[in-house]
Structure 1
C-alpha cells in the first residue's frame, strides 16, 4: 500500500495514533482529547525514558514504547502527535512523514519558514496530512468575534492589539534553553502573531520589534512587535514569560472597541465574554463554552479521512505565521537584561 493510500484505509477504521514525547501539554490537555476522539484510537506513547512512557501509558490506556524510532517503525500506527520542544519539531516531523505517518505537531510547526515550507511540501507529495496544533482559531469565540467585526459592530477597524504573557518559570524549564525550547517568541509570541494574521489577513507586515534576552542563557524572554495591515490598520503585539498572566485580543474601530479576554487558552468550561465599548454604551456578550483542542483533533481526523488536500488553508496559515516570526527576528532590536 502506498503511503498516500493510508487515507483510504482510515475511511473505514479508526485512525491509529501514537505520541512522540511526554511533554506537559500532552499530559494536561492533548492525550485526554486524543483518547476521547471517537474517530481515533490512541495506540501508544513513546519516550526516551521508559518509566515516563509507562506512566503516560497507564494514565491514558495505551502501550508504552521506548524510543521515538521504535514507534515510527510500527506498522500499527497511522498518525503521530508530536509535542516535543519547538527546536526538535523539524527533525521528528520529517522522520514521521518519511515513515508514512500523518502528523499533528505542536506549535510552531518549525522554527524556520524554509523548514516549514519544506515539511508541508513533503507531506503533500506523500499524500499525508501535516497539521500544526495552533488551537485557538478553532474555538467558537473567535468565529463569533469574526461575525461581530464583519457586521460592523465597532465600525471600520483601525487598530488591533494582542497579548500573551505568563509569570516567570523555574530556571530549569526547557523554554530557557534556546537551542531546544526556542524561547518566548516561539512558545508565546506565535499566538498574538497568529491572531493578527487570522483576523487581518495575509498582508500583515512587521515594522519593528524589541526582544528582551536573558543574560544568563541568551533566551528571548519577552518582546513587543509593531506591525501594520491592509488599509493602514496598526498592530501592537506583546508576549513574554516575565509578567502576570494575560491573554487578550482588542479591536479598536471607528465606532467602538471590542475586547476579548482569555483569547488563547480558555478552559473547556469557560464561557468567553465579548466586551463592547462605544461612546455612550457598554455591553457584554457571554458566548458558549468550547473545547478548542477537541476541535483540532476532530479537524485533523476529518482531514485524514478527506485527503491531504483538505489541509491547504491550514498550510497557508502556518506558513504566514512562520514568515512573520522570521521577520520579527530579522528586524528586532535585542536588549539583554
Structure 2
C-alpha cells in the first residue's frame, strides 16, 4: 500500500506540473503493479482510462517502450490495439475452449504456480483453417488479461535485405519481453517454414534458426506470444517444440454453427429454422457463415422486407459454394 501511495503521489505531482512524460511513467508503474498483483481486470480498466496504448508510443527517453520500426522505411513492425472481444463474442468447440480456459487460469493464478517453481504458458501455437477464430481468440485472451494486442506486420518484418528479417523479429520479441502484451504472429509459416524444404533459399533457413533462438530466449511471464497458422504442417518441426501448448481451431460443428447463426440473427425476424440452416452449412468456417448471413440480411433490407426468409440464406449459400467450388477447380488445374 505504501508503494501505491508513492506512485499516486508521483502521478499527482506530474499532473500538477503538466509533465506528460512523468505522468505516463507513473501511470505505467501503477498498471505494472496491478499486473504483478494479478489484478488483471483493474489493470485493464486503468489502461483503458489512460488511453489506447499511448504509453507504448512514448519515447524510450521517457522511460517507456518505443514501438520497433523498420530502420530503412520507418514503418512500425507491430500495430497495437485495445481488445473489446469478450466471452460473448467468441464461440469455440469444447476442447478448444477448455485449452483457452486453462491458459487464462494459469495466468490468473501465476503466483500460486510460482510458489512451486512453475510459470504460466506464454508461447502458444493456434492452428486450423482460416476463419475459425484464431485471431479473435488471441484478442479475447488479451481482453481477459487486461493486455494490449500487438499484431506483427509480416509484410513489414520480411525484408529483401540480408539479415533484416531476423533483426526485425529480435526487436519485436524484445518488445514482448519488456512490455506486458499479447503478441500475435499471424501466418507464422511465412517465417517458420521447414528448413528441409528444397525450394527455400539460405536466407529463410537463417531466419528460422534465428526464430528458434528468439523463442528460446523469450522469458516474460506477463506477455503471451501467440503464433497462428493455416498451414501448420509447413512449420519446421523444431519450432513446434518451442511452444508451451498447441491448440487446434477446427471448423465449427453443427452445434457451434447453430449458436453462431442465432448470434448473427439477433434482432432480425427470421421465418425459418437456424437448426436447418446450420445443418446445411457443414464444412464452412465462422467467417464463411458470417459472410453468407450478412449478405442475406442486406438483401432483405434492400428489398424493403422486415423478415428474413430461409431462401435468402440458402440462395447466398448456393452462390457461395458455386464460387468456391469453381475457384477450387481452377486451382487444381493450375497445379496439374
> TM-score of the superposition, structure 1-length normalised?
0.28
Task: Name whichever structure is richer in strand by fraction.
Answer: 1
- Using the size of structure 2 for normalisation, the TM-score is 0.28
Structure with higher Rg: it is 2
Higher relative contact order (CA 8 A, sep 6+): 1
